[in-house]
């Protein structure tokens, strides 16, 4: 009989301890952010979807070698290029040379797993991660990014 | 059909728990044959989110499989990627710089605490207490912020590379982790007072949901489930990998075999993980994070390789059979939750349904990892 009552008292006491802990939490500062009105700045290394980097002339650094396309595990990068001939002065002589110019760089973000293999595989430092995370949409097409277009928009 | 269904005395009925049920934490279905509130027989049905990660590991090149491993267990992802890079490094003979190994150990332990914290909150919520989940998630947020600043992602990390790491840690990481350790110790004491001592909590777990050591051995259960049954086995201690042999930590073992023992093992493990992080930060050497000589194309020589690691849920093993090409010939994942869950059918026979669901919570199931 004695243990019966002591069990009840000890049990009640354990509940009171719990209540005192939760009561103290009332006076602690709020840790959450009211999201649509306030947002948190992303850290330096945050990995959003990939983005092209421009060179000094405002053109993409990309030389369309296709390494990122091959490294991608889910095959979400597709790019196209055309070869352009240009003239360059070598030892006082004018010579025509050819180089590849990027014409299309599409990213299908629906299948991207943000692993960073494309950024790592790039030998020309032409790719980076964006800091974008407000990407909610109800349409699938909104996640097919034309990165070349995005670069132009950023420059203008 | 009209009117109420009358069940005759002695007649059993079938109850489906899941595939969508808050207590199963995912898409797990348990077919239960019930006699009133008692379970006569239970049968777990799997495969609702099977994604063929093993097959993907066989028809993709080795680096392309890296993001897959963190999709197995989204709560303790780093432990799984650790196992993956270790087995490939062993197979291809890549040497890892010491700094990279230490950072790996620190981040894995941080991730283990995050995983255990979330389990703690969800487990108490299974039993009807909602408040601890909020506290646990607040603490977990600290870890996620620390890891996000280093790895770039919050949940499905792709941080380890064959031979090292994606990028080095900075001073912010070290100071944030150092500040986190005393805070977490204080919080663990708070959880102890709030939850472990709580009379309602104890009455639901003490002596209930017995999983004896023989059953653990029969089904191959590992991790906190077997340590709660008195089996002193931890891959970090028994087959040390990475730099774990240089840390001084204990393996918490309880002999009660009940749900409370498994709870206590996990709560003690968090403290041990804090100890490992502390030692790791003290010993963290300077140096490179990637080896100087690294093969450009990873092609392990022909052979059969196996590596086990201790993840938050138990012993996770990868068996890799290589035929010398750039894809694996066989890529077998031995996931701990699958074995831990297999014993549920036998262990819950004759139990009350609410006790069985409490026991299921104490197993710490993550369903994507069972189905893979």
Instruction: Reply yes or no on whether the pLDDT at B3 is more than 80.
Output: no
Please answer yes or no on whether B193 and A21 come within 8 Å at the CB atom: yes
Rama region for A65: left / alpha / beta (φ>0; ψ in -120 to 50; rest) = alpha
Query: Nearest by CB to B148, which of A12, A43, A71?
Result: A43
Task: Please tell me the predicted confidence (pLDDT) of residue A140.
Answer: 85
Which stretch of A125-139, B101-115, B138-152 has the lowest confidence by average pLDDT? A125-139
Does residue A103 lie in a domain region? yes
Tell me if A82 is assigned to some domain. yes
Helix (H, G, I), strand (E, B) or coil at B14: strand
Res. A6: pLDDT tops 80: yes
d(C-alpha B212, C-alpha B222), whole Å: 12
Residues of A with CB under 8 A from a CB of B: 10-12, 14-15, 17-18, 21-22, 25, 31, 43-47, 71-73, 113-117, 120, 129
Answer whether B83's CB lies under 8 Å from B311's CB: yes
pLDDT tier at A32, thresholds 50, 70, 90: confident
Q: Which of B5-9, B60-64, B164-168, B182-186 has the lowest mean pLDDT?
A: B5-9
**pLDDT for position B2:** 66
Within a domain: A29: no
pLDDT higher than 80, residue B125: yes
Polymer length of chain A: 156
Q: What is the pLDDT of residue B1?
A: 54
Q: Smallest Cα–Cα separation from B63: which of B346, B327, B362, B349?
A: B327
Nearest residue in chain B measured CA to CA from A28: B135
3 state SS of A55: coil
Mean predicted confidence (pLDDT) in B234-249: 87
* pLDDT tops 70 at residue B242: yes
| Cβ pair A117:B66 closer than 8 A | yes
Total tally of structural domains belonging to chain A: 1
Task: Give CA–CA dist A122/B109, Å, rounded.
Answer: 32
Q: With respect to residue A35, please indicate whether it lies within any of the assigned structural domains.
A: no
Cα B303 to Cα B221: distance, rounded to the nearest angstrom: 28
B9/chain A closest Cα distance in angstroms = 35
Q: Both tokens of residue A19?
A: 């209540």
Residue A95 within a domain: yes
**For chain A, how many helices (H) and strands (E)?**
4, 5
A92 within a domain of the structure (yes/no): yes
Count of pairs with CB atoms under 8 A, one residue in A, one in B = 70
Q: Per the domain annotation, does A43 fall within a domain? A: no
The confidence score (pLDDT) of residue B23 equals: 66
User: What CATH number is attached to the domain comprising A138?
Assistant: 3.30.70.3270
Which residue from B67, B141, B195 is facing A115, i.e. has the nearest CB? B67
Task: Kindly state whether residue A144 falls inside one of the protein's structural domains.
Answer: yes
* B24: confidence class by pLDDT, cuts 50, 70, 90: low
Q: Is 1.10.357.10 the CATH number for B13-371?
A: no
Which chain A residues have a beta carbon less than 8 Å from that of B198? 14-15, 18
Cα nearest neighbour of A71 on chain B: B64
Domain limits for position A113: 50-155
Q: Which pair of tokens denotes residue B19?
A: 């595939």
Q: What percent of chain B shows pLDDT beyond 70?
A: 98
């Amino acid at each position: 009989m004695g243990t019966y009552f002591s069990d009840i008292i000890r049990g009640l006491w354990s509940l009171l301890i719990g209540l005192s802990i939760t009561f103290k939490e009332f006076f602690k500062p709020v840790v959450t952010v009211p999201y649509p009105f306030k947002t948190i700045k992303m850290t330096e290394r945050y990995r959003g979807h990939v983005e092209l980097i421009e060179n000094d002339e405002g053109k993409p650094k990309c030389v369309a070698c296709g390494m990122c396309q091959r490294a991608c595990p889910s095959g979400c990068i597709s790019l196209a290029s055309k070869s352009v001939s240009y003239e360059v002065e070598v030892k006082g002589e004018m010579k025509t040379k050819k180089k590849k110019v990027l014409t299309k760089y599409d990213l299908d973000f629906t299948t991207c797993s943000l692993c960073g293999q494309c950024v790592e595989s790039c030998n020309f430092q032409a790719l980076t991660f964006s800091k974008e995370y407000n990407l909610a949409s109800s349409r699938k097409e909104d996640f097919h990014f034309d990165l070349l277009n995005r670069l132009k928009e950023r420059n203008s | 059909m009209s009117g109420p269904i009358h069940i005759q005395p002695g007649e059993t009925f079938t109850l489906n728990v899941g595939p969508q049920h808050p207590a199963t934490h995912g898409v797990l279905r348990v077919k239960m044959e019930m006699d009133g509130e008692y379970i006569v027989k239970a049968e777990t049905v799997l495969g609702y989110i099977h994604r063929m990660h093993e097959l993907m590991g066989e028809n993709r090149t080795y680096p392309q499989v890296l993001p897959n491993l963190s999709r197995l267990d989204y709560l303790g992802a780093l432990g799984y990627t650790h196992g993956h890079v270790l087995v490939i490094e062993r197979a291809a003979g890549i040497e890892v710089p010491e700094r990279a190994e230490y950072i790996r150990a620190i981040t894995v332990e941080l991730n283990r605490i995050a995983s255990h914290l979330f389990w703690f909150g969800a487990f108490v919520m299974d039993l009807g207490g909602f408040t601890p989940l909020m506290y646990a998630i607040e603490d977990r947020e600290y870890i996620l912020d620390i890891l996000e600043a280093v790895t770039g992602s919050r949940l499905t990390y792709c941080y380890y590379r064959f031979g090292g790491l994606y990028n080095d840690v900075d001073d912010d990481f070290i100071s944030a982790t150092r500040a986190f350790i005393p805070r977490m110790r204080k919080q663990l004491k708070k959880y102890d007072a709030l939850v472990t001592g709580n009379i309602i909590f104890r009455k639901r777990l003490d002596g209930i949901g017995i999983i004896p050591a023989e059953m653990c051995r029969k089904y191959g259960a590992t991790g906190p489930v077997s340590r709660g049954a008195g089996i002193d086995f931890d891959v970090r201690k028994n087959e040390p990998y990475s730099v774990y042999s240089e840390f001084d930590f204990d393996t918490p073992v309880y002999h009660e075999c009940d749900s409370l023992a498994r709870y206590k093992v996990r709560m003690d493990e968090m403290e041990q993980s804090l100890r490992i992080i502390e030692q790791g930060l003290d010993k963290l050497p300077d140096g490179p994070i990637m080896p100087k000589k690294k093969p450009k194309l990873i092609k392990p020589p022909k052979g059969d390789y196996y590596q086990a690691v201790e993840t938050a849920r138990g012993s996770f093993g990868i068996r890799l059979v290589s035929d010398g090409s750039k894809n694996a010939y066989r890529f077998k994942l031995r996931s701990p939750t699958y074995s831990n869950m297999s014993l549920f059918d036998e262990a819950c026979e004759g139990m009350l349904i609410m006790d069985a669901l409490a026991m299921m919570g104490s197993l710490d199931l993550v369903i994507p990892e069972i189905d893979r």
